[in-house]
Chain A
Amino acid sequence: MILVLLIVFIWTLASLLSGGFFPSIKNTLRFAVTIPACEYFKSTGKTLTNSLLGFFLAFVLAIISVLLSYLNRTAKDFFNAVNTFVQSVSVLVWSILSIIIFGVTSSIPPILVTTFAVYPILLTSTLGAVSVLDRKLIEVSKMLGASKLQEFTYVLLPGSIPYVVSASRAAIGIALRISVVAEAFGASGGIGYQIVYNYDLARIPGVLTWSILLILLMIVIDFFVLKPVEKWTLKWKM
């Protein structure tokens, strides 16, 4: 509540100090109601699809990387190098490169850029979780006759889930923010595209409307999906 009041205060102050260039809350709301509902659904759906597909792709890649790293020492070194490389390349570079490769109207760049941004977070957290997991549990699974693959699927993977879910909370937030950046560079739609489109037309109330929608979307996902899932998996934490 205090945060909301603080935002309202700063917003009002900014509007007053800018002599009306920065729109007031009232003007922004007035503009927001002029946007057709279908436009909201279409752009939000597009951003959600981009973020979740990007996240899902990164998640699958991270799990495969951890599995291969667990099974093979060379693979472990390889994925460590990939992790460092992917982390060191800016989102801006990924966005521009993927738009050059796939085209400005393609839906692929936002998904791919999100994947590149989220993959290192998930890979690092999963590798970390695997390394802190009680080695004695691995010993027990070996004693029970588990193969290396069974060790991974029955012990390491479920044991890592609470840590991975915690990391996913942050990663999905990042996925939403990154996909919006990538959308802004292209012309395939989504909230990021709408923000830049409104900015280009100097429609600042439009920029603020879509930005607020993005914030609300992140809060709703975190509160109603990620937090309950995290709480549910905490009972598995060693």
Chain B
Amino acid sequence: MENVIEAKNLSKSFSTIQVLSDIDFALKSGELVGIVGPNGCGKATFLRILSDIESPDSGVVKVFGKVVMIPQDNLLFPWFNVRKNISLGLKFRGMSSRDIDLRVDRVADELGITAYLRSYPSQISGGTAKKVAIARALVLEPDVLLLDEPFAGLDVSSVENLLESLLKLKGRGISMVVVSHQIEELIEIADRIYFFSHRPAHVKRVIDLQNTSVAEGKKLIFELFKGV
């Protein structure tokens, strides 16, 4: 499989605080990679660099294809309804209203949020809002999705539902990078997990879950957490 993202020796500081230190990372096409690590170690900064919102101080990021990031707090526009929120990226790109509607309807159907298209963000649950944020990214037909804490604040059934949706997207060949503290959920869907150390974060270990059982992977990660 070809790499869709390659990062070499990434480092990043904010004023005098070094956040990332010499990170090497690769994401293969169709792969779902998890990133875990202690609080505040720079995982979100790493995603922001991959999505080109931040620039690294040193190192190189090579992206082959369209990357869209889904932020932790969804960040839906409260003044637009769900349909308008999802379609905004397409509107910015100058697509016709008819084509936008068709694409929004297809993605909403895929994620099971058609019933909420006319609702406003304040009227939907956290789980649905997360799906709307994913739909907003999916209509842009990305090659890579970057998800920051997608399971945060969701109840058990919403997490189950979201896991199912992510697996469907993976089945469709969309590559994903998922930053999460919910290790058990992440292990269920990830092919590999990058474990980041304390700040300044570096890659402490990469766990290949295809050659490791779920129980073993879980044990490994918990041991790594104990060690940091």
Q: Measuring CB to CB, which residues of chain A are less than 8 angstroms from any residue of chain B?
A: 134, 136-137, 139-147, 150, 154-155, 158-159, 161, 235-238
Contact = CB atoms under 8 A, between A and B. Distances in A.
Interface of B: 51, 53, 68-69, 71, 73, 75, 77-80, 88-89, 91-93, 120, 122, 136, 140
A235 B79 CA distance: 8
A143 B120 contact: no
Contact of B122 (A136, A137, A145, A235): A235
B89 A145 contact: yes
B92 A150 contact: yes
A237 B120 CA distance: 13
Given A146-B92, A236-B78, 17 more contacts: A137-B77, A139-B53, A139-B75, A142-B53, A143-B51, A144-B89, A144-B136, A146-B88, A150-B92, A155-B77, A158-B77, A158-B79, A235-B78, A235-B120, A236-B79, A237-B78, A238-B78
18 contacts: A134-B75, A136-B71, A137-B77, A139-B75, A140-B71, A140-B75, A143-B53, A144-B92, A144-B140, A145-B89, A145-B93, A146-B88, A154-B77, A158-B80, A161-B79, A235-B78, A235-B122, A236-B79
B189 to A, nearest CB: 24
B88 A136 contact: no
Contacts of A158: 77, 79-80
Contact of B68 (A143, A146, A159): A143
A22 B122 CA distance: 55
B73 A136 contact: yes
B79 A145 contact: no
B88 A141 contact: yes
Contacts of A146: 88, 92
A159 to B, nearest CB: 7
A66 to B, nearest CB: 17
A148 to B, nearest CB: 12
A140 B76 CA distance: 9
Contacts of A155: 77
A159 B92 CA distance: 18
B50 to A, nearest CB: 12
A144 B68 CA distance: 8
A238 B89 CA distance: 21
